[in-house]
Amino acid sequence: MRNWIALPMTCALAGCGGGNATLPTVISTIPADRTTNVARDTTIIATFSEPMRAASFTGSTFTLSPVVAGSVQVNGGAVKFMPVELLASGTTYTATITKAAENVSGDPIATSFSWSFTTLPQTQAAPAVSSTNPGDGATGIAIHTTVSATFSKAMSPASISTANFTIAPGVSGTVTYHGVTATFVPAAALALGTLYTATITTDARDAAGTPLVANYSWRFTTEKPASCTDSVKDGDETAVDCGGSCSPCAAGKQCLVAHDCTSAYCSGAVCSTCPSGNHACNNACVSNANLNSCGPSCTPCSAPANADPTCDGTSCGFTCKTGFHNCGGVCVSNASVNSCGPSSCTACTPPANAGPTCDGTSCGFSCNSGYHACGSNCAINTSIDSCGASCTACVPPANATANCNGTSCGFTCNLNYHLNTATNQCDPDTETCCGPGCVDCSANPLSYKVCQAGACIGACVPACVGSLHCCLNQSGLPVCTILQNC
């Protein structure tokens, strides 16, 4: 039997030469051929020289003899046979892969491949629970306890978990395994005065894969509720009439957790106080100004945009950054026209014909183009009521109309009046002083002119009669002519 197995194994590993080199071959196995003392929970693996086609591995392609039910998993060139139950103790198994096994191109192995191995003999007793803590039937157990079981031999750590180590009723937690002891750590304190049942099932196995003979259970009862007033340390009290479910203990009294102390700080199983400038958070002393655990509630401090968080030792706050101020819990720019100034949250409202401004301290306004500020209003630049930067009301002399050029006041003489530059007054027009230049309309000896609307108008003397019309000739003199249009 062994010579028959050795030949295909040698060929598989060596390549066998002379055949089709492209056919897949088995290059290694787990367990290796003829291995002894194989654990009963072993997965059987064959590794091929190239990736294999998963669909070619059916229930008859990869088998164990004696027959073992299982499933096959293909991952590239690695093919696993996973028994659904533990293998038998002290048994020699033959693993066989038939010629139905194909690579991804559809090429089969050249010949069936087999190898053998032997499981651990049943020479040692099955594992057992040798002791527990708390012990079976124990009472008065602290509600902050952990629950552990010590085994008679080393166990497989992978077989010890919350799936097979449980505490009822309704206790969640974590399970660890060290040496030969499994420990269940409850996620929260157990209930007072409650009967609990701890159970480890037959899914727990030793290193050889041998399970417990039967489920193992034990029971214990937690401590009764404390009276808190009988001057006796009882129940879950950590000191006389305090701690646990009673009121917190003063400094110097015994404690288990921070909740047992009025200071919320349990150090070395004794209620303690934090140094000045510090407070307790999560059973540690932190600075009162610690932004990550502010005040008795140990709250992490945050701040809105444009601000830095603060802690006054009691509660969180924030300080707006330079150039910003607090408006209803939001830090806004000091220059914001919607909330102007370092302390005010007032929106700036400009007068008509202006836009709002803020200098970081107070509101202001800027007049629109063509307007200028006069007090708290914006006046049009040409306004005669508030002319120029001085906002002066323009007052014209008699017989004149005021105007403003945007900077200063002026005036224009009314019709039939002209400016007397000497007096800066508006004098009436005459034939001897007509218009702004004070022209003498009668200066021509041959005729004379009249002054109308500040200009000399020619007149024929004597007046034209009949069909003649008075017109100015090329010399500017009035003459009578038959022309109707001068």
For 234-273, the pLDDT digits (tens) are 888 899 999 988 999 999 999 999 999 999 999 999 999 9
The closest alpha carbon to 260, from 272, 273, 274, 249, belongs to 249
CA–CA separation, 109 vs 150, rounded Å? 50
Amino acid 475: pLDDT: 67
Helix (H, G, I), strand (E, B) or coil at 248: coil
What would the pLDDT profile of 90-100 be if each residue is shown by its tens digit?
899 999 999 99
CA distance 179 to 176: 10
The pLDDT-based confidence of 448 (bands split at 50, 70, 90) is low
pLDDT at 21 (0 to 100)? 54
Q: pTM score > 0.85 for this model?
A: no
Whether residue 226 has pLDDT greater than 70: yes
> What percent of the chain lies above the pLDDT cut of 90?
54
Which residues are paired to 211 by β-bridges? 205
Q: Which residue has the tokens 């049943």?
A: 122
**Average pLDDT value for the chain:** 87
* Mean pLDDT across 265-282: 92
Q: Which residues contact 344 (CB under 8 A, 6 or more apart)?
A: 362
The confidence score (pLDDT) of residue 3 equals 36
Q: Give the model's confidence band at 11: pLDDT under 50 very low, under 70 low, under 90 confident, else very high.
A: very low
Mean pLDDT, rounded, for 159-171: 96
Complete domains list, the chain, with CATH: 2-119 (2.60.40.1220), 129-222 (2.60.40.1220), 438-486 (no CATH)
- pLDDT of the residue at 314: 82
Using 50, 70 and 90 to split pLDDT, how confident is the model at 297? confident
Q: Does 309 score more than 90 pLDDT?
A: yes
pLDDT band at 482 (very low <50, low <70, confident <90, very high): confident
Q: Averaged over 75-88, what is the pLDDT?
A: 93
**Could you tell me if 258 and 268 are in contact, meaning their C-beta atoms sit under 8 angstroms apart?**
no
User: Of 134-143, 313-322, 371-380, 447-456, where does mean pLDDT reach its minimum?
Assistant: 447-456
pLDDT of 10 above 60: no
